[in-house]
Structure 1
């Protein structure tokens, strides 16, 4: 079954309501809104910083000496403990995001990470270092659950997808800061060589802790809590220069109200089981879990956390050279992720996903061959080509598996499932990372280049899955995207007769739920410019 495609010739219902002269760079309130969004986007920097920092610390003699040269299994624990901390927070994160609000949840997570960075920088033992990294993972769970949802829910419509895609792209910015910070502290002849980058990891959280109190709250969250006037004011202030009667603001506000009323009355059960209760939700979760796994099991876990071991295996052992390669690689990765973020609504999700994974496959096969030739024959040119193909791999990985996974997950989830579904996404990533971080160093030590063959086979499966199941969602609002997966089937399940009351029920027995459904459908029918949906979703 090939994923359903939205007609490319149609445009989303809000497009004709946009002022063509209003851009992010010439409107003061859009500039302010985007500045607040940047404060949310840097949440991802903490995560990217962590992976790159741990990669770089393994090249520092000062760090290795202080912790008595950790064994491969100890390295696995040191890398995995952050994700174990994340697992501890996942059961609570969606309840905070939906209960306290997106903004307060970001602040709560940032406060934990600030404390953790202090403990990490002051670590006197392996246990203290591990405990700090556990707290970083715990705090990151709360902030990373709420931040991308808030970005998606407050963005000016034409910039929603690129900005949300930028969220995960900035993982690479954190990696850049960590790589070059460690490169700069490498020559400090004391433990401050690793304590300094450990402390800097808390900088994004410090900024959020002091500034995020002024962030606008999600209009969708406000409507869900009955604070409709505040939601309308927020939309009007940032999207229409304070005019609540602006057609775009009215369109957004009415669409949000209709969707949340529909969710409240029709989807009464919003517990964890609701993620899998309907065919549409099962399709969502199948895709979300898959792309979460693919984002970590496409070979990137080796280059992200164990690049120094790979370089050592091909006789590049100078710590300065290792740190330099890592630093340049992170800049290269950020460049391609940002390019893809800017093209997301022009090229579409399916094209980027398929181009990314096909390119990753060929680059990984080339790495496998180069690694094998050097390992078996010791040819220096093979080692150099391996480095080149690592950069090529990073280019293709950055086209989709870095920027698209968060935006795609957030946009295919309806509001009432968004926090819980996004938690499942992050939970799956953490499980995949823990497996990688424990398995990769041991497998590389025992199998060397042969371990790469496993990933070659797995990436082929990824390509087939994405071709069959990814649904195109470009140029749609969050509410329109939700309809792609539910469509007529959800209405039939509720009313028993597709669009309208159940066949066998007299009109006077129609429930209030059915009236809400009819009202929702009527609103949907008004959108004559909205894309038609295929049944093959």
Structure 2
């Protein structure tokens, strides 16, 4: 069967899995403020079905938190399950399994006749997102050459931003439909990309490292030739990659007990801690709060109705556009500096918003602005425009730093033998915190109002310190080089990007002596690690 060999085309198809999560974020953020949704799922005194009733307040704040949190709750379970799926069936097949679950969940969500059915369908959708979000980064990182690994893995985040933007405008357009179709149509349309991803995966090659792990060396060599050798099985970089993979697989078989317990052993637990906190901190920036509940934030800043929805969509455009610089230059910038600069900038905008709200705002009337309890604080005039501007700047700061890097970084940290399981755990950490924050934020807006900004600003401050002292640089290194770096115990702040040399190796510019030395280094390092392990 025909297989696609261009890494950019492979990535474009694979990261549709990230777009599924983006579809969910914006379909909910654009819909929760509409009269059709609030009246159909209303828990106020007038009950469901009163589409023309102007006082429909929708689900209670804690129930809305539960509806929103159903996706990350399911994603937590899906991410943990994906480690077993990917080791048994392969990276590509696991993603296809996720597509099937997404379609099942979307059918249930689209047909929802009550809150319980809506939550159940969203949980199944989340299960699919958990599988895809955990394994797509693993898959593309194992196929891509080191000099563009950040670019192709970071495309997962770009796909998320495109999914958010496309579904937001679909949902916004559907908001003008009278009746339940206003939210059922976008929930049905979100099945289309999952179907496309399932079909597209048929034409993609399997991960060469997974094939090697299964002793399918001929297939492994063929995939490396297809993706990296332009049809030449003896291309220098193909042979270099094959030698590195073979050395690492042989070492791992001789010295490793491949189980989840391997991840908490002394030589692996530091990497697990870094990967887990990369995903935890990416949630504690507060970015997904901005994505899910932006209409609440802008409602407090004095925007309402269609103006609120249009203003909210601008942040999604910013998110798409500002992710591009990271995709283009991340492999030259590295991983550490974007994480450090991004957290500092986000803390700045969050502290600014908290100060503006506290200094120039006041509590909203009982029941919230426009009968929306979550819009519990009011600010107007020039300060409200400053709040909106800081919100846009926050999104821009996240989009080109933590957004793509948080997906690129964890798969790079782990050796082949545990990569599938490890990334499943790190991604599950993302989703369990996403679940907690999705559930926490609506009641938090009701109870602590503007102080929600302070909470996330403090988190951004803490993550800056943590990244500086604990997160090493992985850009410009092969996955096997990263293994060696961790075993040598190089302090995080002394690591740096090694982009140019790895790029020379990929294009075959190393001379024969350098190639031979590199090959011997791979074998020697594997033997050294074997003796020390």
2:347 is matched with 361
2:336 is matched with 350
1:43 pairs, out of 2, 17, 20, with 17
Q: Does residue 51 of structure 2 align to residue 62 of structure 1? A: no
Correspondence 1:296-375 to 2 at 5 A: 296-318=283-305, 320-375=306-361
Contact 1:29 1:241 in 2 (8 A): no
- Cα 1:524–1:132 shift into 2, 3 Å: farther
**Counterparts of 2:102 and 2:379, CA distance in 1:** 45
Provide Cα deviations, 1:401-459, integer angstroms capped at 9, x if missing partner. 11001111011111111111111111111111111111111111111112322222222
Q: Which stretches in structure 2 are left out of the alignment for 5+ residues?
A: 43-57, 363-377, 491-516, 525-533
Structure 1 counterpart SS, 2:403: coil
**Counterparts of 1:404 and 1:259, CA distance in 2:** 25
**Counterparts of 2:402 and 2:272, CA distance in 1:** 17
Structure 1 residue 332: deviation in Å? 0.3
Structure 1 residue 523: deviation in Å? 4.3
2:143 pairs, out of 154, 164, 182, with 154
2:273 is matched with 286
**Counterparts of 1:101 and 1:400, CA distance in 2:** 30
Contact 1:299 1:364 in 2 (8 A): no
1:52 is matched with 26
1:85 is matched with 74
Contact 1:149 1:410 in 2 (8 A): yes
1:518 is matched with none
**Counterparts of 1:39 and 1:387, CA distance in 2:** 35
Contact 1:336 1:399 in 2 (8 A): yes
Correspondence 1:433-512 to 2 at 5 A: 433-487=434-488
Provide Cα deviations, 1:13-53, integer angstroms capped at 9, x if missing partner. xxxxxxxxxxxxxxx99874421221101111111221121
Structure 2 counterpart SS, 1:160: helix
**Counterparts of 1:142 and 1:91, CA distance in 2:** 8
2:162 is matched with 173
Contact 2:31 2:175 in 1 (8 A): no
Q: Which has the higher contact order (CA 8 A, sep 6+)?
A: 1
**Counterparts of 1:213 and 1:257, CA distance in 2:** 26
Contact 2:411 2:423 in 1 (8 A): yes
**Counterparts of 2:67 and 2:176, CA distance in 1:** 23
Structure 1 residue 224: deviation in Å? 0.6
- Cα 1:384–1:296 shift into 2, 3 Å: same
Cα RMSD over matched residues? 2.1
Q: How many residues align?
A: 467
Q: Which stretches in structure 1 are left out of the alignment for 5+ residues?
A: 1-27, 490-520, 529-537
Contact 2:80 2:425 in 1 (8 A): no
Structure 2 counterpart SS, 1:132: helix
- Cα 1:197–1:526 shift into 2, 3 Å: closer
1:270 is matched with 258
Structure 1 residue 136: deviation in Å? 0.4
**Counterparts of 1:466 and 1:56, CA distance in 2:** 34
1:105 pairs, out of 94, 99, 105, with 94
2:245 is matched with 256
Structure 1 counterpart SS, 2:361: helix
Structure 2 counterpart SS, 1:402: helix
2:511 is matched with none
**Counterparts of 1:480 and 1:328, CA distance in 2:** 41
Provide Cα deviations, 1:386-405, integer angstroms capped at 9, x if missing partner. 00000000111112211001
Structure 2 counterpart SS, 1:187: coil
- Cα 1:321–1:204 shift into 2, 3 Å: same
- Cα 1:526–1:482 shift into 2, 3 Å: closer
- Cα 1:29–1:423 shift into 2, 3 Å: closer
Structure 1 residue 265: deviation in Å? 0.9
Provide Cα deviations, 1:304-327, integer angstroms capped at 9, x if missing partner. 111111222222222x11211222
**Counterparts of 1:411 and 1:438, CA distance in 2:** 31
1:533 is matched with none
Correspondence 1:136-285 to 2 at 5 A: 136-267=125-256, 269-279=257-267, 281-285=268-272
2:428 is matched with 427
- Cα 1:32–1:451 shift into 2, 3 Å: closer
**Counterparts of 1:145 and 1:459, CA distance in 2:** 24
Contact 1:289 1:428 in 2 (8 A): yes
Contact 1:314 1:374 in 2 (8 A): no
**Counterparts of 1:115 and 1:275, CA distance in 2:** 33
2:368 is matched with none
2:496 is matched with none
**Counterparts of 2:118 and 2:215, CA distance in 1:** 44
**Counterparts of 1:378 and 1:210, CA distance in 2:** 49
Structure 1 residue 378: deviation in Å? 4.5
Structure 2 counterpart SS, 1:92: helix
**Counterparts of 2:460 and 2:68, CA distance in 1:** 24
Structure 1 residue 163: deviation in Å? 0.6
Provide Cα deviations, 1:218-249, integer angstroms capped at 9, x if missing partner. 11011110100011011112221221111111
Provide Cα deviations, 1:182-226, integer angstroms capped at 9, x if missing partner. 111111112111111111222221101222112100110111101
Structure 1 residue 157: deviation in Å? 4.0
